[in-house]
A = this chain, B = another copy of it.
Amino acid sequence: MPGSTWGHALRLTTFGESHGVALGGIIDGFPAGVTLDLNWVQQQMARRRPGQAWTTPRQEQDQVEVLSGVFEGQTTGTPIALLIRNADQRSQDYAALKDQLRPGHADRSYLKKYGIRDHRGGGRASARETVIRVAAGALAQQYLVEQLGIQIQAGVTQIGSIQAAKCDFSQVSQNPFGFVDAHAIPSITALFEELIAAGDSVGAAICVEATGVPAGLGEPVFDKLDALLAHAWMSINAVKAVAVGDGWDVVSQRGHQHRDALGTAGFLSNHAGGVLGGISTGQTIVGHLAFKPTSSIQLPIDTLDQQGQMTRLQVTGRHDPCVALRALPIVEAMTALTLMDQVLQQRAQNPKAWEQACDAS
């Protein structure tokens, strides 16, 4: 099965390349009769868009056109098609790269997979591909909030060696880095100035939380809720590690430290991150993602051309010093699409238990 589809009961299938005519997607299985706010979709799109402070100046309008599945503002239950035309293709920027395989990018592995490559850009491997995930995810987020009270928010918790001392999601929209701790902003600003001067980039970490998730989502074996989220998160460009709850720290924990005790008012802690045995517990779901530093930086590097000859790559185009900054709405979108898919599946199999879990949450 080719890999451009996400989900089972709610399915998003996407298409489009960074330098092609358009990007788009089809959402199949979305419940009928849901009123959608397309302005909010556009706001999520804006958070992902390049052209903001500290990100690449590439200008994309990213105007989402809804081609089907919505009638007089309400979903009809039929596939919702979303279309975004590429307004600013500037493939001349990439003409110089025509024969060069950029290290850290998918150029070479693409060529090996398909035997052919659209050299004008990253194609499907470009972060631009995620534009449609954000649009589709925004519809899922609206469903989750309005029907179930599930809220999803992501924030940057570490950039390079600068870690947040606390995780305050209300700060995310207050600074250009989407960072969760206001005290770190001056040092991050200094770091970015240094990176731009050096033509370099840096990695970052993102934390995502989903509150109000009823118990019972996820399956006990292959499709554990955290396994599905790991799949969703790792499918985001530049992500190299994902975790739930205490994440990597569990390696050095003792059993009596990790397990969460149960009281009559619920769990006394949340080391598990809201998932036990692959099934949501009713607690907040907590995830973590590690993003690698942008590979296309101005510092030159050795590579090969398509003919296999040595060459030296010197990128001059527009790129981000830290790709993670624009990833916040993507992380939220993939989380929402995954949760909503599981909501529909749980409702299919266990409608009564699901209703009870919703009442309890």
Instruction: Determine if B22 and A11 form an interchain contact, defined as CB atoms under 8 angstroms apart.
Output: no
Asked, given contacts A104-B260, A255-B299, A308-B264, whether A68 binds B28 with beta carbons under 8 Å apart, the answer is no
- Residue A183, interface by CB 8 Å: no
A349-B2 Cα distance, complex, nearest whole Å: 9
Q: Which residue of chain B has its CB nearest to the CB of A24? A: B81
Q: How far is the CB of A144 from chain B (nearest CB, A)?
A: 15
Instruction: Determine if A250 and B357 form an interchain contact, defined as CB atoms under 8 angstroms apart.
Output: no
Residues in chain B near residue A256, CB distance under 8 A: 200, 297, 299, 301
- Residue A148, interface by CB 8 Å: no
Q: What does the 1/0 interface line of A235-267 toward B look like (CB < 8 Å)?
A: 101001111111110111111111111111000
Output the residue of A101, A227, A309, A348 with the most chain B CB within 10 A: A348
Instruction: Determine if B2 and A220 form an interchain contact, defined as CB atoms under 8 angstroms apart.
Output: no
Q: How far is the CB of A121 from chain B (nearest CB, A)?
A: 11
A5-B5 Cα distance, complex, nearest whole Å: 10
- Residue A9, interface by CB 8 Å: yes
Instruction: Determine if B351 and A351 form an interchain contact, defined as CB atoms under 8 angstroms apart.
Output: yes
Residues in chain B near residue A295, CB distance under 8 A: 255, 258-259
Q: Which stretch from A46-54, A170-178, A339-347 is at the chain B interface?
A: A339-347
Asked, given contacts A29-B1, A260-B104, whether A76 binds B114 with beta carbons under 8 Å apart, the answer is yes
A13-B2 Cα distance, complex, nearest whole Å: 12
A238-B201 Cα distance, complex, nearest whole Å: 34
A4-B26 Cα distance, complex, nearest whole Å: 10
Which residues 11-44 of A sit at the B interface, judged by CB distance below 8 A? 11, 13-17, 20-26, 28-33
Instruction: Determine if B278 and A235 form an interchain contact, defined as CB atoms under 8 angstroms apart.
Output: yes
Instruction: Determine if B250 and A113 form an interchain contact, defined as CB atoms under 8 angstroms apart.
Output: no
A228-B346 Cα distance, complex, nearest whole Å: 23
A276-B350 Cα distance, complex, nearest whole Å: 29
A246-B110 Cα distance, complex, nearest whole Å: 21
Give the contacting residue for A294; candidates B244, B255, B282, B344; CB below 8 A: B255
A/B interface sample: 17 pairs, CB < 8 A = A1-B1, A3-B222, A5-B5, A5-B13, A29-B348, A29-B349, A103-B262, A115-B356, A125-B278, A159-B251, A224-B234, A230-B233, A234-B242, A235-B278, A241-B244, A250-B293, A258-B295
